Chains A and B, each alone.
Chain A
Amino acid sequence: MKKILVRKNAYYDSVFLMLATKALKQRPGIKEAVVAMGTEVNLGLLKEIGLLSGEAESARPNDLVIAIEAETGEAVEEACRIAEEVLKKKSHGGGGEEDYRPVSLEGALKILPEANLVVISVPGRYAAREARQAVNKGLHVMLFSDHVSVEEEVELKEMALERGLLMMGPDCGTAILNGKPLCFANVVRGGSIGLVAASGSGLQEVSCGIDRMGGGISQAIGTGGRDLQDRRVRGRMMLMGIEALKHDPETRVIVVISKPPAEELAAKVLSKLKDTGKPCVVHFLGLKPSGTRGSMRFSGNMEEAAAMAVALSRGEEYRPLCFSLSEAEVSRVAEAEVKRMGSEQRYVRGLFAGGTLALEAMALFEEEGFRILSNVQKGPGRALHSPHCSESHAIVDLGDDVFTLGRPHPMIDPSQRDERIAKEAVDPETALVLLDVVLGYGAHEDPCGALAESVSKAKGQVAGRGGYLCVIASITGTEKDFQNMAEQKKKLESAGCLVMPSNYQASLLAVHVMRKVVSR
């Protein structure tokens, strides 16, 4: 039984629609359910699954299409009813007393002329135009949207530079301005350390690390992923961010986080940092540290970057970090984990929601001599044949495009990772599963709830075969985040997961365990 409804001129954002679709699909008796805008792409998809007919065929991008296929007529009607309810709640919700919500930026500025920042998270093909308008109106921009072309990015950053405005993005998921978390960000202590980051989860990991070690953040500026990676963008926002922190009296230490930039850009960044006259920490992911150069420090991992920054902010000498467990304890733990494993179990499977956290884990394993396959590895012979299927030692970035097309990001919706954990548990060669959990605004309200369940199930499955699945995780967050970090940690630990205070330490422990696995 099929039913297809069209609601004209009813626009809803993609995340909401995906979650609504998911909710409907889970109803009993539902074979297929789609709640989506009538874009060309979506209509094509609906056609493919045989759910495009009648009014829906001429639906336009601003029209909403609800398509349901179920076993019985009742199931279809029930699903439709629920869909209408959910949609109704959405259009009347969002802040209780319905103040007028403007449709255009100019309309918004008529209502709020004192606005100074626009946060843009609209579909990529419209994002540049909106960002351009915002800059023309003299507003700073946080451009969360991705799928914006390089040419557009360059134009936007040029415009912003000319006007002295922030253009954080495109593809910028995290920032902290004036102590306020923007988009995906954690609640961290205020202080004297300023960050400029080309990586969202990197910014989150370092800022949480700083908070954990007693330091605080003055400003954390995001630049978007391409800022230092693509020569054409030329690190414009990174350089501007550094300059802004130079002039900020609250900022006494500057930390820069990015994947290794193109050659000349690295030199530019370093020279700009030197020019600030303030002590700096540079973290170019995956590059081995080259120690100290004057007041500039190079960190080997994100926890170290945080520790160096905190030490500098206190005017102290940085003392290399201790692992939170002693050598002896690590050995003991690793031994205990490996002892119960079956002889077939031999591989590590990293399943990550944060791209930078995945990269950090990968770098550490590679350093220790492991050959890691991944969906985000570019090295020769390092690519997984299919991102959906782990082989050998593998670390997967579940936030990569291939996973997020049409499905919410794993930080928002844990189901994709839950499914993958189950898959790894079925594979008799899986020895260790390594995870990251990111808390804070934007993230799921109870990421460890679902995760703990999957972990339990997975461990149970492997135990049923006579083996043992080791699960190690880290939690990126602070005790001020709304998810209640202590409780989240408890949930994972109750499921038998080893929880470490940072991604670096979790990866390092995982390395120790795998060394023991390999040397059996």
Chain B
Amino acid sequence: MNVKKISELFNKELVVINMGLDSFADNLRKEEVKVLPMDWKPPAGGDKRLISLLKKLDA
């Protein structure tokens, strides 16, 4: 069980990408954490057929 990367994280500044609820990004900003809010939306417009095609390609 290799936890080196976690130890590294503990010694670094958190740099966060927020995917989903915007309030989480807002709160991180209040705590002076560097955060990039995403404009996430369901892949392929939520179209199941397209998502399964993408899956076939491991994408």
Contacts and interface: CB of A to CB of B under 8 A. Distances in A.
Contacts of A248: 7, 10
A354 B40 CA distance: 28
Nearest to B33: A180
Interface residues of B, number: 42
Interface string B13-27: 111111111111111
A165 B5 contact: yes
Nearest to A218: B10
A503 to B, nearest CB: 23
A111 B36 contact: yes
A144 B13 contact: no
A250 B46 CA distance: 44
Contacts of A109: 17
B12 to A, nearest CB: 6
B10 A11 contact: no
Given A94-B25, A180-B31, A248-B10, A119 B18 contact: yes
B36 A121 contact: no
Contact of B20 (A121, A182, A240): A121
Contact of B10 (A118, A163, A178, A240): A178
Given A39-B46, A442-B24, A108 B38 contact: yes
Nearest to B45: A62
Contact of B40 (A103, A139, A177, A181): A103
A236 to B, nearest CB: 9
B42 A123 contact: yes
Interface in A42-88: 60-62
Contacts of B20: 13, 119-122, 144-145
Given A180-B33, A219-B10, A117 B16 contact: yes
A108 B9 contact: no
A62 B43 CA distance: 9
Instruction: Give the secondary structure class of B's interface.
Output: mixed
B37 to A, nearest CB: 6
A121 B21 contact: yes
Interface of A is mostly: loop
B6 interface: yes
Given A119-B19, A250-B10, A102 B41 contact: no
A29 B25 CA distance: 35
Contact of A243 (B3, B17, B34): B3
A244 B7 contact: yes
A161 B6 CA distance: 11
A62 B41 contact: yes
Contacts of B23: 15, 442
Given A101-B38, A121-B24, A248-B10, A115 B1 contact: no
A39 B41 CA distance: 12
B46 A62 contact: yes
Contacts of B30: 441, 482
Contact of A61 (B16, B33, B42): B42
B1 A243 contact: yes
A164 interface: yes
Contact of B9 (A39, A60, A140, A441): A140
Given A102-B38, A161-B1, A16 B16 contact: no
Contact of A116 (B1, B9, B26, B41): B9
B36 A11 contact: no
Interface string A252-292: 00000000000000000000000000000000000000000
Given A103-B40, A165-B5, A61 B25 contact: no
A181 B27 contact: yes
A149 interface: no
B14 to A, nearest CB: 6
B3 A240 contact: yes
A112 interface: yes
Contacts of A163: 5
Given A118-B17, A140-B9, A239 B42 contact: no
Interface of B: 1-7, 9-10, 12-31, 33-34, 36-43, 45-47
- The 9 tightest CB contacts between A and B, nearest first, are A61-B46, A121-B20, A11-B41, A101-B39, A164-B2, A441-B27, A62-B45, A244-B6, A164-B5
Given A11-B40, A115-B17, A117-B14, 18 more contacts: A11-B39, A13-B20, A13-B40, A60-B45, A102-B36, A112-B15, A119-B17, A120-B19, A122-B40, A122-B42, A140-B6, A144-B21, A163-B5, A177-B9, A180-B14, A219-B10, A244-B10, A441-B30
